[in-house]
Amino acid sequence: MDEQPRLMHSHGVGMAGHPGLGQHMPDGTEGEGRKQDIGDILQQIMTITDQSLDEAQARKHALNCHRMKPALFNVLCEIKEKTVLSIRGAQEEEPPDPQLMRLDNMLLAEGVSGPEKGGGSAAAAAAAAAAGGAGADNSAEHSDYRAKLSQIRQIYHTELEKYEQACNEFTTHVMNLLREQSRTRPISPKEIERMVGIIHRKFSSIQMQLKQSTCEAVMILRSRFLDARRKRRNFNKQATEILNEYFYSHLSNPYPSEEAKEELAKKCSITVSQVSNWFGNKRIRYKKNIGKFQEEANMYAARTAVTAASASAQGSQANSPSTPNSAGGYPSPCYQSSRRIQ
C-alpha cells in the first residue's frame, strides 16, 4: 500500500475529468485514469487525520461528493465482506437454545406467557387437582394462587415489553448511526442487518434472564401451593374419631389393610395416603408415650365396647369398618402397656 499511489501518479495525466467511469474498463487508458482517482481519494483518506475539524469536515464533504465515491464504496464493501465478515459469518446460525425453549414451554404451560386468562386458570386448576385437597376450602386457595400467578404474569409482561421497546430503540439508533457512518466508511446493508441480529441476540439473552427468574417465581409459588405442609388443615372431629376408633380397637395390630384403609378414607373423606400418614404418626406417637394416650385409649375402648354391645343386641355388626380382631381378647391399655408395635 506504499508503492501504488506513487506508481499511479507517475503515469496519470489529465484524466480527471473523464466522463466514462463505468465498472468496466475497455482499455488501459481508462484504467489508468481510474487508478489515479482512487489514488487521490486514498491520499485524502490517509491525510484526513492530520487536518483540523473544519478542514476535515470540508474534505469529507468533498470526498462524499466525489464522483468515484459510490464505486469505491462498493469495492471496499465487497472486500470487507469477503474478509472480515465472512469469517464471522461462519460461526453464526446457532440453533435455538434448548434451555430457552424449556423456559418458554414452562411459561406457556404455567399460563404466564400464553393467552390472557384461559391458560392461567387451566394450569391453576391442574395444580389444584394435583394438590388433591378434597375440595373443601380449595376455592379460596385456588383464587389466591391465581391472583399471585397473574401478578407474576403482569410483571413478566411489563418487563418483557420494556425490554422489547429498549431493544427496538437501540436497534433503530444503531441502524441510524450505521447508515450515517456508511457515508464515510464501507458499511453494507448486509452488515447492518448482521449488527441488528447481534443486538437482538444480546437482548434475547437478557430476556432469558427475565424468563428464568419468572420461572423460578412460578415454581416457588407452585411448590408452596402444592406443599400441603404449608397449609395444613386438621381433620374434622368425626374423621379423627373414626380413625381413633379403628386404631384403639386394633391396638394389638394397628395396621389396616389396603382395603381397610380405603374404607376408612371413604368414611373420613380423606385420601388413602392420608389414612396411612395418620396411622404412621399415630403408631409412632402412641409408642413413644403410651402414658399420654392412656385416657384416650380407655375412652375409645369403652366407646367401642358400647357400640359392639348395642350392635350385637340388634343382631348386626354394620358399624366399624371391617373389624376382624376388635376388643375381643385384647388387653385394653388400662391393664397393660401393650408392646405389639415394633
3-state SS assignment for residue 13 = coil
Residue 140 to residue 120: CA distance in whole angstroms: 16
267 binds DNA (CB under 7 A): no
316 binds DNA (CB under 7 A): no
| Cell 472486500 found at | 79
For DNA, the binding residue among 57, 143, 181, 277 (CB under 7 A) is 277
What part of residues 224-243 is at the interface with DNA (CB under 7 A)? 227-235, 240
255 binds DNA (CB under 7 A): yes
Q: Which residues contact 166 (CB under 8 A, 6 or more apart)?
A: 203
Judged by beta carbon, residue 147 or residue 228, the one nearer DNA is 228
Residue 218 to residue 324: CA distance in whole angstroms: 49
Judged by beta carbon, residue 73 or residue 300, the one nearer DNA is 300
Residue 92 to residue 79: CA distance in whole angstroms: 20
Judged by beta carbon, residue 24 or residue 229, the one nearer DNA is 229
**What does the block give as the cell for 320?**
366399624
Cβ of residue 131: shortest distance to DNA, in angstroms? 9
For DNA, the binding residue among 182, 276, 298, 323 (CB under 7 A) is 276
Cβ of residue 262: shortest distance to DNA, in angstroms? 13
Cβ of residue 150: shortest distance to DNA, in angstroms? 22
Judged by beta carbon, residue 289 or residue 314, the one nearer DNA is 289
Say how many residues touch DNA, by CB under 7 A.
26
What part of residues 200-229 is at the interface with DNA (CB under 7 A)? 227-229
Cβ of residue 342: shortest distance to DNA, in angstroms? 5
Judged by beta carbon, residue 44 or residue 338, the one nearer DNA is 338
- Burial code (b: 16+ CB inside 10 Å, e: under 16) for 172-189 equals eeeeeebeeebeeebbbe
What x/- string results for residues 278 through 297 when contact with DNA is judged by CB under 7 A?
x-xx-xxx-x----x-----
334 phi and psi angles, rounded to 5 deg = -60, -40
Region from 69-77, 113-121, 138-146, 267-275 binding DNA, contact rule CB under 7 A: 267-275
Region from 34-42, 144-152, 154-162, 270-278 binding DNA, contact rule CB under 7 A: 270-278
**What does the block give as the cell for 177?**
448511526
How many Cβ atoms are within 10 Å of 163's Cβ, its own excluded?
Answer: 16
Judged by beta carbon, residue 103 or residue 131, the one nearer DNA is 131
Task: Please name which of 297, 243, 250 lies closest in space to residue 275, comparing C-alpha atoms.
Answer: 243
DSSP 100-147: HHHHHHHHHHTTSSSSTTHHHHHHHHHHHHHHT-TTSSHHHHHHHHHH
Q: How far is CA 307 from CA 241, 318, 335, in A?
A: 13, 10, 21
> Is 282 in contact with 254 (CB distance < 8 Å)?
yes
Cβ of residue 280: shortest distance to DNA, in angstroms? 4
Judged by beta carbon, residue 8 or residue 251, the one nearer DNA is 251
Judged by beta carbon, residue 107 or residue 270, the one nearer DNA is 270
Give me the residues that bind DNA (CB under 7 A), please: 227-235, 240, 255, 270, 273-274, 276-278, 280-281, 283-285, 287, 292, 341-342
